[in-house]
Amino acid sequence: MSQKRIPAAFIRGGTSKAVVLKRQDLPEDEAAWPHLFAALMGSPDPNKRQLDGMGGGISSLSKVCVVGPASRDDADIDYTFAQIGVDSDTVDFSGNCGNMSSAMGPFAYDEGLVEGPRDGEAMVRIHNTNSGKMILARFAVSAGRAIVTGEATVPGVHGTGAPVALDFLDPSDTFGRGALPDGQASHVLTLEDGRKVRVTMIDAAVPSVFVAAGEVAGDTCSHPGAIDEDAALMARLEDIRRQASLIMGLTTDLQAAAERIATPKVAMIGPAAAYKDLSGETHPAEAQDLQIRMISAGQAHRAVPVTGALALACAAVVDGSVVNACISKGADPLNLRIGTPSGIVTVGATRDPESGVISVARILRTQRRLMDGHIYVPHPAANPFAQQD
């Protein structure tokens, strides 16, 4: 046979879509996964369309999730996320995808990988292997299946769906380097073009770095396409991202930082202001607490990655951070309203005032299984399965 077929599901989680695979259907040797995942996504594609695979040509549609038995006693399942490059064959396991996290509990429940009530509310304890952190997913079930219809909305997703409540427990310090580099709420970086910018670097939900849009000649009301086309702005943001990677201890040199496309995330933030989202709807300033434009895997995100939004919420409760200085007066840290290209996203975080520990970050998403069956991979990319012939 010229192709191998692998049992798979294709699922939307929040504003992302991913191929979801069971650990038991993959090569035991995880070193074989990157080549396999790039092939099934259709990467690399210099045309940035991924026509020969399951990818959709943008970072939020170029993802793979793996679900398997829990490797720790306090979890029900293990979940591993892979971000696949679009025009490269880079496969980055360094960070989690919060959007796709919303689909992991329902997938495990529907597949019989976890026990739960036949009707009512199910709770799945998810161990994200990328970050080593725990996520609690709560969702409604009926007749032994996760419910997908409901009234919950997610900016960037047309229509409504059943809510999935996600609590990211103890979200800080996913890489063992601390939540804040050197314990500082902000740092001043010197960019290649000579300008000095103040940033906040935080490892919470996902390592992220935030900068005020005005300091990099950016605008948080901008269309993502316009940001992508502004080569000078994208170069400044990538410069910040790479420097932050070194300061946060994620990589040891700039070349390694460049190759690590998923983390840290980099984002411009700005104060609340009226703007039009991608659907043309106008959002008044009073409906927001601040705005964000985040870069994900080298592209301006069309909404905001969930983990990026959670990192923003965590940074907002840190005194002296650039995020804390930007939010509207009187904003509720448990219900922070973020203006994104696709609309307003509400996230929250709680921080112990005495210890300073961020105990939980939370968000509401929707998810839906779109298809399942088998995915086909060209035989050369499927050599790890040769022993099955």
Tens of pLDDT, residues 201-239: 999 999 999 999 999 999 999 999 999 999 999 999 999
The alpha carbons of the chain give a radius of gyration, in whole angstroms, of: 20
What is the C-alpha separation between 232 and 216, in angstroms, rounded? 9
pTM of the model: 0.84
Residues 11-60 pLDDT 10s: 999 999 999 999 999 999 999 999 999 999 999 999 999 999 999 999 99
What is the C-alpha separation between 197 and 183, in angstroms, rounded? 18
What DSSP string describes 23-86?
GGGS-SSGGGHHHHHHHHHT---TTS--TTSS--SSGGGSEEEEEEE-SSTT-SEEEEEEEEPS
- For 129-138, 189-198, 235-244, 380-389, which range has the lowest pLDDT when averaged over its residues? 380-389
pLDDT of residue 387: 44
SS3 content of the chain, % helix, strand, coil (to 5): 25, 35, 40
Write out the two tokens for 302.
């069309």
- What residue ranges define each of the domains in the chain, with the CATH number in brackets? 3-163+367-388 (3.10.310.10), 181-360 (3.10.310.10)
| C-alpha 129 chain-centroid distance | 14
Q: What CA–CA distances, in Å, run from 285 to 110, 210, 267, 291?
A: 41, 21, 20, 10
SS3 annotation, 111-178? CCCCCCCCCEEEEEEEEECCCCEEEEEEEEEECCEECCCCCEEECCEEEEECCEEEEEECCECCCCCC
Would strands 358-365 and 336-340 be described as parallel, antiparallel, or unpaired? Answer: unpaired
Burial class (CB in 10 A: 0-12, 13-18, 19+), 53: buried
**265 CB contacts (<8 Å, ≥6 apart)?**
95, 206, 207, 208, 209, 241, 294, 295, 296, 305, 307, 308, 311
Write out the two tokens for 39.
């092939």
Write out the two tokens for 37.
């995942």
**Averaged pLDDT of the chain:** 94
- Determine the longest span between alpha carbons in the chain, in angstroms: 64
pLDDT of residue 381: 55
Question: Taking residues 288-298, what's their average pLDDT?
Answer: 95
In the structure, what pLDDT confidence band is assigned to residue 145 with cuts at 50, 70 and 90?
very high
- Sign of CA pseudo-dihedral 107, 113, 119, 123: negative
Model confidence at 388: pLDDT above 50: no
Write out the two tokens for 234.
């994208």
Amino acid identity at 43: S
**Could you give the 3-state DSSP secondary structure of residue 321?**
coil
What is the C-alpha separation between 40 and 58, in angstroms, rounded? 15
pLDDT of residue 109: 98
Pick from 192, 340, 347: which is nearest to 270 by CA? 340
In the structure, what pLDDT confidence band is assigned to residue 380 with cuts at 50, 70 and 90?
low
